[in-house]
Amino acid sequence: MSPSPAVRPYRPEDRDAVEDICVRTAHAGRDSRPHYKGPGVFPAAFAAPYVHLEPELAFVLDDGVGQAVG
């Protein structure tokens, strides 16, 4: 049986993946890299504060093998 994606609580080791997901979805749900010179501003504003200050309120979609994908 293949692993199933599932929502789970955020873990500190998910931070890089969460930041990447934020950049890849910041332009109306699409990748912001082609449209902005500094797309790192998006995770700094929209993801990092939440996972840093209130990690117990953050959740990720796990691909079933431990990688945050959403």
CA distance 36 to 43: 13
Model confidence, pTM: 0.88
DSSP symbol at 14: G
What is the C-alpha R_g of the chain? 13
DSSP symbol at 45: H
Tell me how far the alpha carbon of residue 30 is from its chain's centroid: 13
pLDDT digits (tens, 9 = 90+) for 34-69: 999 999 999 999 999 999 999 999 999 999 999 999
Q: Per 3-state DSSP, what percentage of the chain is helix, strand, and coil (rounded to 5)?
A: 40, 15, 45
pLDDT of residue 46: 93
